[in-house]
Amino acid sequence: MSALTNMIKVETKLFLRDRATVLFGVLFPTALLLGLGSIPDLRTPSADLGGLRPIDVWAPTALVFGIVMIAVQHVPTVIATYRERGILRRLSTTPVHPRNVLIAQMIVAFSSVLVSAALMIFAAWAVLGIAPPEQPLKFAVAFVIGYAAVLGISMITAAVVRSSSAATSIGTLLFVVLMFFGGAFLPRAIMPEVLQTIGDFVPPGLQALISSWSPAAGEITGAGMSFWVQLSVMAGIAVITAAVAAKLFRWE
């Protein structure tokens, strides 16, 4: 078994022991959607929404909570903790290069985001009758690229912070900023036009997720950028932030 495979197993066990991350990063999106779905008014078709229910339009937003929570709060905090305790430095003297720790951490984090999304999509369909993404391939592309953009931003934090407490504080600030300006706290349909425009540039690209899940819902939440233009923006953010993080990264 390779060193990377062993590291992935270790990181998976550590992730599962982190109850707060499992609860808020993996399970919370589903719980939030089901909680809101229990409100009768949100399950009632609305003429203003073209016959859709408010919960149908809002459902993709629940995914963003898991994506952002894990990417900007969990990943940087773990890496900063390893740096703070000298683990990355010590690993550089062993066959397990510290780079394997970063790769394993990102694989485990992305896997947890996938589990969170799959659980939420299944619960949305089984419990609330929300149809799965109508354009699954486009949705998958938007999901992966959007997550990569958020992770790229978070890795800049992970690259330089020296303590877990600093990583947690910065992660919390990033969470609020990305969620607010990205359109997750307020429905895009009622946001001022200027905030909708800003949101088109904010990872993970909520409008792309909404429009690929349900084109009808995408028309309601605002025209904004076209799907592929927004994905290009998200991809650009992912590449640029990853390059910056790699340039700034410190093992010690």
Q: Crossing angle of helices 75-84/136-160, nearest 10°?
A: 30
| pLDDT the model gives residue 7 | 86
Distance, CA of 100 to CA of 71 (rounded, Å)? 18
CB within 8 A of 140, min separation 6: which ones? Answer: none
d(CA 164, CA 158): 10
pLDDT at site 190: 75
Q: Do residues 153 and 67 make contact, with C-beta atoms less than 8 angstroms apart?
A: no
Ranges of the chain whose pLDDT falls below 70: 1, 95-96, 189, 223-224
Contact 59, 117 (CB under 8 A): no
Q: Take residue 20 and report the two structure tokens written for it.
A: 């707060």
Per-residue model confidence (pLDDT) at position 5: 87
Tokens of 51: 């016959």
From first CA to last CA, the distance across the chain in angstroms is 28
At residue 165, the pLDDT reads 93
The shares of helix, strand and coil residues in the chain, as percent rounded to the nearest 5, are 80, 0, 20
- Side-chain-facing half-sphere of 229: CA atoms under 13 Å: 7
Burial (Cβ within 10 Å: 0-12, 13-18, ≥19) of residue 4? middle
What pLDDT is recorded for position 148?
Answer: 96
